[in-house]
Chain A
């Protein structure tokens, strides 16, 4: 069964460093998303991406965040200068048609900023 894959599963980084989280969405899906879940809190939407551009983003998704689809399969989230409060589980998701369709999530990348 097709699935969303994320790498790495766990990343530890020093405060101020840049990190890139990687995702391979399901191949025939057109919409891609990043969400995050701070430990013990609810899953929060960060950004959606369609047709090679950001289609929607939350207040959390400020200038330190960026997303890219560098090739036909990968979808990345870059955090330019990490802060302690960026420590969270980051989930990539994809859906076939966006609104009103199932969104399938990856296993997540646990980011720890020290």
Chain B
């Protein structure tokens, strides 16, 4: 089964607008993490939100988590051209023997036009 599916798959906005990306998952989680990947580059950790948290902020990023709906959203406010990247959610599930394995979604490709 798929875990951590983002939508939309692609998003194009103008600089200064807000960008919202959503992630859905199917099983219970310890936490959900968001990552950014610039084209062909590494994964940059953005934020971790635990299952008992509902919202977290980091600079222009706001992440929400709704465990009843098994979904999370990443909001980037006042977007900049430099925010152009792919954004992935990744879930860490609670199970015996789990050592922090993350399951990634397909990602949302964000393009911010100057």
A residues whose Cβ falls under 8 Å from a Cβ of B: 31, 33, 35, 41-45, 48, 50, 55-56, 89, 91, 93, 95, 97-108, 110
Contacts and interface: CB of A to CB of B under 8 A. Distances in A.
Interface of B: 30-31, 33, 35, 40-45, 48, 50, 88, 90, 92, 94, 97-107
Nearest to A107: B42
Contacts of A100: 30-31, 50, 92, 100
A104 B97 CA distance: 20
8 contacts: A33-B101, A43-B88, A56-B97, A100-B50, A100-B100, A102-B33, A104-B45, A105-B44
Given A42-B106, A42-B107, A108-B41, A101 B88 contact: no
Contacts of B50: 100
B48 A48 contact: no
Nearest to A47: B101
